Amino acid sequence: MNKRLNEGKGGLKLVTFLINILLFFFLLSPTTAQINLNGFGAVNKIPSFKNKQKIAAIDYNQDSITDLITFGSKNERITLHPGSKNGYDNSIDKFFFYLISDLKKFNNFDGLGQHHIFISRKEKLAGLISFTPKGTINLLNKIEFESYPSVMCTGDINNDGILEAIIGGTNFNGISILTQKRFKLFEERLLTNRIFSTVNLIDLDYDGYPELIAFDELENSIIIFANDEGNGFRDERKIKLNDKLLNQIISDFNNDGFIDIIYSTGSSINAIYGDSVSSFENTQTLIDDVENSDFIFKDINNDDKNDFLFLDKNNSQLLVSTALTDNEYSKPILLFKSGAINDFIPLTNNKESICLVDSDGYIYQIYTADKKNNLNIAASCSPDIFGLVNAGKKMYLYYFDEKNSAFILFLLNNQFGIAKYYKQNITTGFSKIKIAEQTEENIRFICFNGTGKHFDEILFNTQDQSLSTKRIFTKQKIIDADYFSSSITNGLPNRFAALTLSEGELRVESYNTNTQSLYTEYIDSNVVAGLIIAGNTDTTFYWTQKDSTIKFIRSFLQPPSSFISDTIFETDTSKVNLSNLNSEWMNDSEKVQMHSFMNSNENSFILLNSKVILLSDLFLSSKIEINNLKLSYRADKNQYSLWGYQNNSLSQYQVDLENKKVKLIYYIDYLNCKDYFAADFNKSQILIYTNTSENYFSLQKIE
């Protein structure tokens, strides 16, 4: 303890202050996203068949439950997922003659059954099909074109109770109308030598005869064709656009009783609002920072306002923007990402549910979390760094999205769905997130990468629900850092402390909240690992290795700034392999437990604060071969649990430290686990883990 650098003396204090001006950079940045999801974001993964490009929701078996159909595969097959009260887990893969581009429900004639209509861009045709209750597909009729259809809508043009189909497309000559008579389709050419990339039928003048709204690619205009009471369409008016329209949805978007046109240009989402005479003169840009995305809108958070969901096919990801007010929307946030998402649809029988289909043979249903004990929670990546934290009797899930350089925080509701989503952009990555403070007012995270000379504080204020960041640079490489509140450290000021290691020499560098250096304290040499935790006093735990001896040492602060050390454990280095030196909040109080696992040729140990526990005594075996050992504490039962992962299975052991006994109390088999985390919440234990191949969290409630 003789190498302490006292920075309160004379000229050294001034020099140190000037050095700090150069070394320490203070960064405050605003929250980049904060949206209310109200439980939306739970994920149900449904096995299907590979290479499907499109998905449709149709009650093909006429049981009044919506079914899912995927199609557009390379081998021209259709997969049926009959719906049930338990979901869509069953699938029927069927051969079909043509590669389907779109499929819609069509007419249901008495005695003839329910028919559906499809188009095939590849084969340049449209067809009429029906399904048996067991999923057999019957091709009833087809009609061929001279060009390539790619868009289709249906509606009752003549107001006679029989649906017609409107056909168009970017490589289709004009617009065709298909009518059905019993089992046959008939074509009427409406327009030629024009290109329409979208077609919609909707009644704008409320006379029972729907108008045709289509986007003319050559004129870059939305064309409204008036319906002459079933006697044909006339080219009535056009709405000239400045940017190219990629897709559109015609609906009463703002719930005022009038039809609106919502369209995407590839860089923005725009609204053309209707009125009592459908003048379409009032326009507005709703969202201006979304790129090349298909979109749908629906009220996903149950606030009676439409929200937007975007499918970015180029990056295979789902983005969400929720309504802040009637005319204002949040910045789109990345909610979910998968391997190769091709299409998505809303489920009309479920207000808060959508389905996505990918090329890898899966359907992902994104929905509002229910009261089930087990569920998956959507994520923007497959996180390597994540955890759960309790603050003010609320549970938060946090993770680091390395690819998108973002820190993500979820407030979970009582059903463990995402109640609110918070995102903070960061400038550099890190490999460790440490919870330095958790109170009703604040959650303070300390983040660092273990190889650099700086750490970030990310502070979440639970009162105004804001995120902010602060960066502090250190003199040496960081191996751990923490925040020390004056309320629990003998009246010393609020401050940060970084544990640094250089050439085996361990030091504590301490700074106040304005990043001014308070002191640098030399602790020991020959150090190989260490951590610092905040408690009633600043305490450092570390391993030293010299010659053939390895020691586990505790060093604690003697105010104002000197450290006192004592050796907890000592053994021969040939017998010991150090692993998992860590500190964790064990409950929602200010109690912090330090633990380290140590494996040797003969025995394994847990070092819990200053107590050494021989695992062989607990397990009654000579060696414990379990990977990724973790310790958790359940406050309501005053119970420690030891978790371990081995052979694709995760086990939980109840640990009786006093009697040195364990009992297997929980077991998950065939778990392709990447990492896991256990936390105590509302008199239950929550286990959350990530999968090596999935971008979501799996959460299980353990009673």
Q: Do domains 42-360 and 425-702 have the same CATH topology?
A: yes
pLDDT reported for residue 5 = 34
Whether 382 and 690 have beta carbons less than 8 Å apart is answered as yes
Question: Looking at residue 568, what is its pLDDT?
Answer: 80
Tokens of 446: 């300390």
Domain residue extents for the chain: 42-360, 425-702
Helix (H, G, I), strand (E, B), or coil: what is residue 619?
helix
Provide the pLDDT for residue 529.
83
Report the pLDDT value the prediction gives residue 210, as an integer from 0 to 100.
96
Closest of 439, 365, 364, 426 to residue 399, by C-alpha = 426
**CATH match of 42-360 with 1.25.40.10:** no
d(CA 243, CA 262): 14
Q: Which residues of the chain have pLDDT under 70?
A: 1-32, 292, 349-351, 486-492, 534-537, 559-561, 573-627, 660, 670, 682, 703
Model confidence over 607-636: pLDDT tens digits? 665 566 666 665 545 455 666 777 777 777
**What span, in angstroms and rounded, lies between the C-alpha atoms of 160 and 167?**
20
Instruction: State the pTM of this model.
Output: 0.87
Give the tens place of pLDDT for each residue, 497-552.
889 999 999 998 888 887 777 778 889 999 988 888 765 567 788 888 888 888 88
The whole-number pLDDT of residue 19 equals 38
pLDDT computed for residue 29 by the predictor: 43
Distances (CA, A) of 670 to 44, 440, 647: 18, 38, 8
pLDDT score recorded for residue 11: 41
Residue carrying the six token digits 């994520």: 379
CATH number of this structure's domain 425-702: 2.130.10.10
**Cα 440 vs. chain centroid, distance in angstroms?**
25
Contact 38, 57 (CB under 8 A): no
How much is the pLDDT for 16?
A: 41
Q: What is the per-residue burial (b if ≥16 Cβ within 10 Å, else e) of 582-600? A: bbbbbbbeeebbbbbbbbb
Taking the C-alpha atoms of residue 82 and residue 391, their distance in angstroms, rounded to an integer, is 43
Tokens of 141: 């009729």
Token pair, residue 319, equals 């983005």
